[in-house]
């Protein structure tokens, strides 16, 4: 089985992230499942902007959304069995599902539903104040508002997260503080708000805050894509 991973960053600009994500998907993919990594085209936002800039700006997000959908159309043409969108806001998910017949899973949707299975209330812990409202809206769109504690925000920025692949201590400390606020607010499952931050945490074994689990949203999204593809095959 082949799964097309679709991210919202220019992967070529983040070699440490590519290396980490490659090892991660290999570790979590089911036997017989291969995951091929894809992101946005080089030059989509660099050199003057970051992926966080286009994710938070409604006038720019369409640039990335179009690429997500076009790439998943390409995945279907090239014979992939499923696609996995690793974006907490589920950017392009509904549009891609309308455009292709192959199953499409997404980070936000998959992680939030799994979080409801492992806890009574979940909280998304993000590093960007500007997307907190977007995440809250997406939670409501999924019908999960009653199962969600407020979004908490980590005291860092995109540059600090990228830097954490080499020097993780500051990000881990800032994430832990924000996650503890979420736990104090009633969350008993935590979802890292952005894939790139989640990858730093996973690589350094940050899987719990006390007894509260941190959902491996990348692993859950890959697993959900594989499950949906398996169910589709069984129904054909």
Per-residue pLDDT reduced to its tens digit, 14-48: 999 999 999 999 999 999 999 999 999 999 999 88
**Contact in structure between 9 and 51 (CB atoms under 8 Å):** yes
| Greatest distance between any 2 Cα atoms in the chain | 50
Q: In terms of domains, do 88 and 122 share one?
A: no
Per-residue pLDDT reduced to its tens digit, 52-91: 888 888 888 999 999 999 999 999 999 999 999 999 999 9
Q: Determine the Cα–Cα distance for residues 140 and 118; give it in Å rounded to an integer.
A: 19
| Across 3-7, 52-56, 121-125, 203-207, least confident range | 52-56
Q: In terms of domains, do 115 and 207 share one?
A: yes
| Percent of the chain whose pLDDT exceeds 70 | 100
Q: In terms of domains, do 36 and 84 share one?
A: yes
Predicted local confidence at residue 57, as pLDDT: 85
pLDDT at 5 over 80: yes
Can you give the residue range of the structural domain that contains 194? 109-216
Count of domains forming the chain? 2
| Across 7-16, 47-56, 101-110, 192-201, least confident range | 47-56
Predicted local confidence at residue 216, as pLDDT: 96
* Distance, C-alpha 60 to centroid of its chain: 19
Q: In terms of domains, do 130 and 204 share one?
A: yes
Q: In terms of domains, do 115 and 199 share one?
A: yes
Q: In terms of domains, do 10 and 50 share one?
A: yes
CATH number (domain holding residue 25):
3.40.50.1860
Cβ contacts of 13 within 8 Å, gap of 6 or more: 42, 46
CATH number (domain holding residue 151):
3.40.50.12500
Main-chain phi, psi angles of 61, to 5 degrees: -60, -30
* Average pLDDT rounded to a whole number, residues 113-123: 96
Burial of 116 per CB tally in 10 Å (0-12, 13-18, 19+): middle
| Residue 126, token pair as written in the block | 């993000």
Q: Determine the Cα–Cα distance for residues 154 and 139; give it in Å rounded to an integer.
A: 19
| Percent of the chain whose pLDDT exceeds 90 | 87
């Amino acid at each position: 089985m082949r799964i097309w991973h679709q991210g919202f960053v220019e992967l070529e600009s983040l070699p440490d992230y590519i290396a980490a994500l490659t090892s991660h998907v290999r570790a979590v993919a089911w036997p017989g499942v291969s995951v091929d990594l894809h992101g946005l085209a080089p030059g989509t936002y660099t050199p003057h902007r970051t992926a966080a800039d286009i994710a938070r700006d409604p006038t720019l997000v369409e640039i990335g959304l179009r690429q997500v959908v076009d790439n998943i159309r390409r995945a279907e043409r090239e014979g992939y069995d499923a696609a996995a969108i690793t974006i907490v806001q589920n950017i392009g998910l509904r549009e891609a599902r309308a455009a292709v017949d192959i199953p499409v899973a997404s980070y936000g949707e998959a992680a939030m539903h799994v979080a409801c299975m492992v806890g009574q209330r979940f909280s998304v812990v993000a590093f960007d104040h500007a997307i907190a409202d977007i995440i809250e809206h997406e939670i409501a769109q999924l019908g999960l508002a009653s199962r969600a504690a407020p979004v908490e925000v980590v005291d860092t920025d995109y540059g600090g997260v990228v830097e954490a692949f080499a020097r993780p201590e500051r990000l881990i400390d800032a994430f832990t503080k924000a996650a503890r606020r979420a736990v104090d607010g009633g969350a008993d499952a935590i979802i890292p708000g952005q894939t790139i931050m989640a990858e730093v945490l996973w690589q350094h074994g940050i899987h719990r805050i006390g007894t509260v689990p941190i959902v491996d949203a990348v692993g859950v999204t890959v697993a959900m894509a594989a499950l949906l593809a398996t169910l589709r095959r069984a129904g054909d």
